[in-house]
Amino acid sequence: MKVSALPIPTYLKERYKALGIGELYPPQAECVEKGLFEGANLLVTVPTASGKTLIAEMAMHDHASRRGKSLYIVPLKALASEKYEVFGGKNVRVGISTGDFDRRDEYLGRNDIIVATSEKVDSLIRNRAPWLSDISLLVIDEVHLLDSPDRGPTLEMVITKMRAMNPGMQVIALSATIGNPRVLAGWLDAALVTSTWRPVDLRQGVYLDGEIRFDDQSRTVVPVSKHEDINLLLDTIAEGGQCLFFVSSRKNAEAFAKRAAKALKCEDPELDQYRDRLKKLDGSGTGEGLAACVGMGAAFHHAGLPREARAIVEEGFRKGLIRCISSTPTLAAGLNLPARRVVIRDFRRYETGVGMVPIPAREYHQMAGRAGRPGLDPYGEAVLIAKDEEEQCSLFEFYVNAPAEDVNSQCANESALTTHILSLIASGFAASHAEIQEFLERTFYRYQHKGSRLIDSVTVSALRFLEAAEMVVENGGRLSPTEYGSLVSQLYIDPRGAESIVSNMRSAGSYSDMGLLQTLCSTPDMYTLYVNNRDLQYLDRFLLEHEDELWVPLRFGEEEDYYRALKTAMLLRDWSQEVPEATICERFSVGPGDIFNLVESVNWLLHAAGRLAGMFAPRFAREVREYGVCMKHGVKRELLPLVRIRHIGRVRARSLFNNGITSPEALRRAESARVAAILGRGIAAQVMRELGAENGAADDLPAGTGQATLSSFSEEE
């Protein structure tokens, strides 16, 4: 099917022509035949790199040309940014939203295409963003995540709410890994487009004793090392390909990258530039290790790295400079980073309380789908590594020849359902028991489990909790949110977590930053750090020394959760006390990316706690809000007046303070040359202009002054 014959805007046809896209892939053509441009709902389940994004893009531009509005839902912020770049152009207005959860973001409604995470869309619905009723096309990327215990309930509720709000809306759902596509298509009232076609042939096999065995052939790998994974790497490099290695842990990813770097020993001036960029960005031990690997053509990639470091690695790999990346499964979760050969080295991973367990077949297929670069590779290879013939046969049975698992609704989880029932009541979707049941009838759970009573009993328990917490009241059979319930829903926090925050603030004898942090880290909304036996000694010592500051008591049977929350709170306390990033990484065995993610999460909870304090514990409200600013910037309270100045973050504020400039007023009075000596000439000029300096000397600062070291977490710096 020729692109020139499609009913899409001329500018899009011209763009595709410039990219060398003259004809649709078979699955894309099937989507057109099944009503892509006639408003038909579609479930598209085809392999990675088979053109799913193009299907959505054509439909969205078609809607924009008819004054329609499209909402593209993604699971990850990084994926949202990637799609935003892909969809952007001068002919359509594209917006992106992944941030604050209590904003209506009405400006987004001015765009033709809006890219957002499912959590952000849920928040926009709760806050009644008016433009949501104008959506004419809903695209759900990675729709198989309905099966995720963490994210599935929110995604399912968002889809259900959007379809209820906009009955005439077209829905296009995309995935590469669904075991029961007909069931999901039935729920979505969608035509099913399923195919195994790929633009690059994918060979899937298992490596054992120097040979990769495929279903219909085999390939000998010449051993040049005692390590099987290095032999697979060098075999690919010898033919001009690149490799992705998926391993079970960050530690293993870093260890393999170091071995790969020694084996590759690439010398390239461009790699030297990448190495230097990484060194400048991240001075932690992890950052220095990554820079050293990249200088020799290898890299590792995981969530512990700063986002900027991951972006540099991805850029170097796409350009072909970095020959291999070893990664935890985060890399397979949507980023477009294909390679000639993908090696799933570790098919088991550690789960707390269980030990090493096999990964799901769906996860294997997500990783394997990264094999083969369209237009660059004649084929792609996905390879597992076996230790003996018995395991080789098992790997073929349970991974290579196995379909992805079925997608099952996770909506009957009581914690998730409590959150979403409050949302239904607070946002006006339901105002009685009958209306809640009527809404739940539209969910994927009800479609899958016709006649099941489980969700009914869970709903009763959820409503009982919400009424006891005084978030919802019932009067004459009508349910309505209280002011408290509406606030919790708008803040986008778990109702149980909100109750814990309110209860602890009310009962605390006095305010304590650590008590507040411990409370927030004990809520369901906060990811917490793993605790090993080595951690217990310093955690117990901290407990003894700071017992009076803590708000959450240690209860029998809850030791693991308690210590995880305490360790996380201690890390965040260090950050707000201006402890250097490298020290925090070493002290808590984390990466800079972990610090960033934890600070980002607790910043939101601190904002929520400030709002709740205003309602229930006004004696703490000011201190909670102040501490929120301290955490955002990573500073002690004494620096708060300075970090509120634009261009001044934690490092520059501390430099000014230590030099006797402790307030905006003192900064205004300071001599320009002195400020320049502390901040550097350019930044000093910007700061003085920002303050409206009256001495008129901001543009006459002396040259030759140095810049402060920049924190990777400070937007101002």
212 and 185 assigned to the same domain: no
Residues 377 and 249 in one domain: yes
The answer to whether the Cα torsion of 68, 69, 70, 71 is positive or negative is negative
Assigned domain for 622 exists: yes
pLDDT by residue (tens digit) across 216-267?
899 999 888 899 999 999 999 999 999 999 999 999 999 999 999 999 999 8
Return all residues near 377 (Cβ < 8 A) that are at least 6 apart: 200, 241, 338, 340
How far is Cα 94 from Cα 70, in angstroms, rounded to an integer? 10
Say if residue 240 is in the same domain as residue 386.
Answer: yes
d(CA 65, CA 491): 36
CB 650 within 8 A of CB 717: yes
Q: How many domains does the chain have?
A: 5
- Mean pLDDT over residues 585-611, rounded? 94
Spell out the residues 6+ positions from residue 100 whose beta carbon is closer than 8 angstroms to its own: 604
Residue 711 predicted with pLDDT over 50: no
pLDDT for residue 430 is more than 60: yes
* Whether 455 contacts 449, CB under 8 Å: yes
Which residues on neighbouring strands pair with residue 2, listed in sequence order?
23
Which of 41-45, 196-200, 422-426 bottoms out in mean pLDDT, i.e. has the lowest?
196-200
Instruction: Examine the fold and report which residue of 607, 634, 661 is the final residue of a domain before the chain moves on.
Output: 634
CA–CA distance, 481 with 459 (Å, rounded to integer): 16
Q: What is the CATH number of the domain that holds 434?
A: 1.10.10.10
Per residue in 2-25, pLDDT (tens digit) is 999 999 999 999 999 999 999 999
Q: Are residues 128 and 214 in the same domain?
A: no
Report the distance separating Cα 512 and Cα 528, nearest Å. 20
Which CATH number do you get for residue 658? 1.10.150
- Assess whether 648 and 628 both reside in one domain: no
Inter-residue contact 321 to 268 (CB < 8 Å): yes
Give pLDDT, residue 125: 94
Least confident residue range of 161-170, 260-269, 327-336, 507-516:
327-336
CATH number of the domain bearing residue 592: 1.10.3380.20
**Both structure tokens of 454:** 């489980």
In one letter, which amino acid is 176? A
Both 129 and 171 in one domain: the answer is yes
Least confident segment among 83-87, 543-547, 639-643: 83-87
Is 409 inside any structural domain? Answer: no
Picking from 239-248, 323-332, 348-357, 607-616, which range would have the lowest pLDDT averaged per residue? 348-357
Question: How far is residue 37 CA from its own chain's centroid?
Answer: 31
- Rounded to the nearest 10 degrees, the angle between the axes of helix 559-576 and helix 533-545 is 70
Structural domain includes residue 271: yes
Residue 550, H or E segment: none
Residues 581 and 644 in one domain: no
Q: Domain boundary residue among 469, 491, 513?
A: 491
Percent of the chain with pLDDT over 70: 96
| Last residue in a domain, options 634, 654, 686 | 634
Q: Is 408 among the domain residues?
A: no
Kindly report, residue by residue over 180-190, the tens digit of the pLDDT.
Answer: 999 999 999 99
Full 3-state SS string of 48-117 = CCCCHHHHHHHHHHHHHHCCCCEEEEECCHHHHHHHHHHHCCCCCCEEEECCCCCCCCHHHHHCCEEEEE
pLDDT of residue 89: 76
pLDDT at 364 over 90: yes
Say what the pLDDT of residue 100 is.
62
pLDDT at 710: 28
Answer yes or no: is 714 within a domain.
Answer: no
Mean confidence (pLDDT) of the chain = 91
User: Per-residue confidence at 334, pLDDT binned at 50, 70, 90?
Assistant: low
The average pLDDT across 204-208 equals: 96
Distance CA(251)–CA(452), nearest Å, equals 44
Full residue range of the structural domain in which residue 530 is found: 495-634
Rounded CA separation 243/209 (Å): 20
**The CATH number of the domain where 370 resides is what?**
3.40.50.300
Taking the model in full, what pTM does it have? 0.89
Q: Is residue 181 part of a domain?
A: yes
Range with lowest mean pLDDT among 126-135, 323-332, 376-385, 618-627: 323-332
Phi/psi region, residue 334 (left: phi>0; alpha: psi -120 to 50; beta: rest), is left
Whole-number pLDDT of residue 693? 43
Q: Are residues 231 and 259 in the same domain?
A: yes
Confirm if 345 and 245 have CB atoms less than 8 A apart: yes
For the ranges 278-287, 474-483, 520-529, the lowest mean pLDDT is seen at 278-287
Q: Does residue 318 share a domain with residue 228?
A: yes
Q: For the chain, give me the number of helices (H) and strands (E)?
A: 31, 19
User: Does any domain span residue 711?
Assistant: no
Going by pLDDT thresholds of 50, 70 and 90, the confidence category of residue 701 is very low
Q: Report the pLDDT averaged over residues 277-282.
A: 90
Same domain for 131 and 110, yes or no, is yes
18 and 164 together in one domain: yes
526 within 8 A of 561, measured Cβ to Cβ:
no
Same domain membership, residue 24 and residue 47:
yes
User: What is the average per-residue pLDDT within 510-534?
Assistant: 95
- Tell whether 42 is covered by a domain: yes
Q: pLDDT by residue (tens digit) across 302-327?
A: 988 998 999 999 999 999 999 999 99
